[in-house]
Amino acid sequence: MKPEQAWEPYEPGARRPWDLRLAAHLLRRAGFGADWPAIEQAVADGPAKTVDRLLRPPENLAEFNATFDRYDAAGATGASTESLRAWWLRRMMETPYPLVEKMALFWHGHFALGNHGGISAALMARSVQSLRQGALGSYRALVAGVMSDPALYLSLRSERSRRSQPAPNVARQLLAVFGVGPGNFDENDLSAAARALTGRSVLRNELRFFDHDHDDGAKTLLGQRGNWNADDAVRIVAEHPATAEHVVRKLYGWFISECGEPEPELLEPLANHLREHDDVGRLVEVMLRSNRFFSAAAYRRRIKGPVELAVGLARAMEQTVPTLRLGQQLAELGQDLYRPPTSAGFPGGRDWINGTTLTGRWNLAAEMLAASGAYEGHLNPAALAEKHGRSTPEEAAKLLADVLLDGDLPPPIAQDWRQLSSLPAQWPARLRELAITLTQEPEYQLA
């Protein structure tokens, strides 16, 4: 596939027909996976109309967000982020606009604020809230917002920066993570950016600027010379052409594939789009509509993060589950919301899975689907089958396979469930076990 073709809108055809698999793939990547009604509707509507709907904020969004913002505010006391974490998971499970939460999660991993315990929950709540608000807007605005967020300076242990003592951690983060990326800047750029940032200090959880601490001298940053201050440095880095490529590469891993590094030529049209329009929402739209997105090179070419795994399971079962304990369990699987392990963000791709974490993932899914225990049996496959009018074992098994595995019901299981028709009284009770078995298929770990 040529790069131009790769990002042209996908048109269903004989070679790549629109079906349940691609519909479920789209709903997984643009959100956290979907329930049966959403999949059914997407199959009927086709890709163009489904992407339209995924991108458009629903009418009740403001009301929904206002409710959850109040929960966040109530939960954000002290240093513990346990309560915030639980509310965010709940928000992901219930939101009518999953794309924005999926992007907020992406930016949370990208900017990676909060990586040690000393930062107050209130600051972290505000921080994630601004990522949510700007999730589909201007990337440059996002960078500028994060660069004036006190949580950044606390995360990087750079509460003070003075002319005599610049704070290189923030400068490095700006260049290497938010900006042009490793290999596209040198020690002189680092020192110039750190000097431009001098005078910024955090006092009582507020970012302040002290003129007498600022180094107002001339600096050369990424080839541009001037008496740059912090805003200048942020603008120069955010507008640099390499920044767009760096961000687009990360977005490619998030939306398209974690298999191997994409060629620069493949990314170039996307990078140009971001350089020209600086509009994340429109860029994501290009990606979600594209041939590449619906190709075999993208389908199941990501490993679900722990949050995607658990939220997806709840959404597929059309129920929410208690999230306080879930937040802790997901933290132990490597994704502690509001507390990324380092300023490099969360692990990803293959690093999510080893023998121990997979045991944990399987056991978590089994616990969530259990009839009793910490998750109180809220997820109920038999009730789901009944709700959707599946009255035979074969139909019920098909439904679970459709919502959990894009319809891939392993043949021996299909055979077993055909034979169950002769045991009408018992089969609904066995649907929990079937759902657990399906979550233990390797494909279930893939997004």
Partner 1 sequence: MTIRRRDFLKAAVGTPALLSFGSFVPPVLLRAAASAASHSDRPTALVVLQLSGGNDGLNTVVPFSDDQYGRNRRTLRLTASEVLKIDDHLGFHPAMEGMARLLAEGRLSVIQGVGYEANDRDHEVAMRDWHTARPGDTGCETGWLGRAIDSVEGPARIGAPGVFVGPIPKPVGMTAQRSVVPHVRSLDDMTLAGPVAAGEAVGDLPASDNPLLEHVCRGAVAARLGSRQVQDVLQASATGGRYPDFPLAGQLKLIAELIRADLGIRIFFAELGGGGIGGFDNHANQRDNHASLLAQLSAAVTALIDDLVQAGLADRVALMTFSEFGRTLAENGRRGTDHGAAAPVLLAGGRLRGGLIGKHPDLTDLDADSPRPHTDFRRVYATLLDQWLGFDSRKILGRQFEPLNVVG
Q: Which residues bind partner 1 (CB under 8 A)?
A: 115-117, 156-158, 168-169, 172, 258-259, 300-303, 332-334, 341-344, 347-360, 362-363, 366-367, 410-413, 433, 436-437, 440-443, 445-446
Cβ 260 to partner 1 shortest distance, Å: 8
Contact in structure between 2 and 295 (CB atoms under 8 Å):
no
Contact in structure between 153 and 147 (CB atoms under 8 Å):
no
Cβ 168 to partner 1 shortest distance, Å: 7
Contact in structure between 197 and 171 (CB atoms under 8 Å):
yes
- Enter the tokens of residue 20: 């349940």
Cβ 444 to partner 1 shortest distance, Å: 9
Cβ burial 396-433 (10 Å sphere, 16+ → b, else e) = bbbbbbbbbbbeebeeebeeebeebeeeeeebbebbbe
Query: In 10 A of CB 377, how many CB atoms?
Result: 15
Q: Tell me how far apart the alpha carbons of residues 375 and 384 are, in angstroms, rounded to a whole number.
A: 17
Of 68, 60, 75, nearest to 91 (Cα)? Answer: 68
| Residue placing its CB nearer to partner 1 in the complex, 353 or 420 | 353
Cβ 252 to partner 1 shortest distance, Å: 15
Cβ 106 to partner 1 shortest distance, Å: 17
| Residue placing its CB nearer to partner 1 in the complex, 387 or 398 | 398
| Residue placing its CB nearer to partner 1 in the complex, 283 or 317 | 317
Q: Tell me how far apart the alpha carbons of residues 147 and 144 are, in angstroms, rounded to a whole number.
A: 5
| Residue placing its CB nearer to partner 1 in the complex, 30 or 190 | 190
Cβ burial 13-25 (10 Å sphere, 16+ → b, else e) = eeeeebeebbbbb
Q: Tell me how far apart the alpha carbons of residues 211 and 255 are, in angstroms, rounded to a whole number.
A: 43
Cβ 300 to partner 1 shortest distance, Å: 6
Of 294, 304, 258, nearest to 31 (Cα)? Answer: 304
- Would you list the DSSP string of 133-189? HHTTS-HHHHHHHHHT-HHHHHHTT----BTTB--HHHHHIIIIIISS-TTS--HHH
| Residue placing its CB nearer to partner 1 in the complex, 389 or 411 | 411
Q: What residues form DSSP beta bridges with 202?
A: 207
| Residue placing its CB nearer to partner 1 in the complex, 270 or 303 | 303
| Residue placing its CB nearer to partner 1 in the complex, 43 or 414 | 414
| Residue placing its CB nearer to partner 1 in the complex, 283 or 405 | 405
| Residue placing its CB nearer to partner 1 in the complex, 389 or 442 | 442
Integer-rounded Cα Rg, in Å, for the chain is 23
Cβ 202 to partner 1 shortest distance, Å: 14
Cβ 92 to partner 1 shortest distance, Å: 20
| Residue placing its CB nearer to partner 1 in the complex, 304 or 388 | 304
Sign of CA pseudo-dihedral 92, 95, 99, 100 = negative
Cβ 44 to partner 1 shortest distance, Å: 29
Cβ 63 to partner 1 shortest distance, Å: 37
| Residue placing its CB nearer to partner 1 in the complex, 158 or 319 | 158
Q: Tell me how far apart the alpha carbons of residues 293 and 305 are, in angstroms, rounded to a whole number.
A: 19
Cβ 398 to partner 1 shortest distance, Å: 16
Of 445, 279, 284, 260, nearest to 361 (Cα)? Answer: 445
Residues 6 or more apart in contact with residue 360 via CB below 8 angstroms: 329, 332, 333
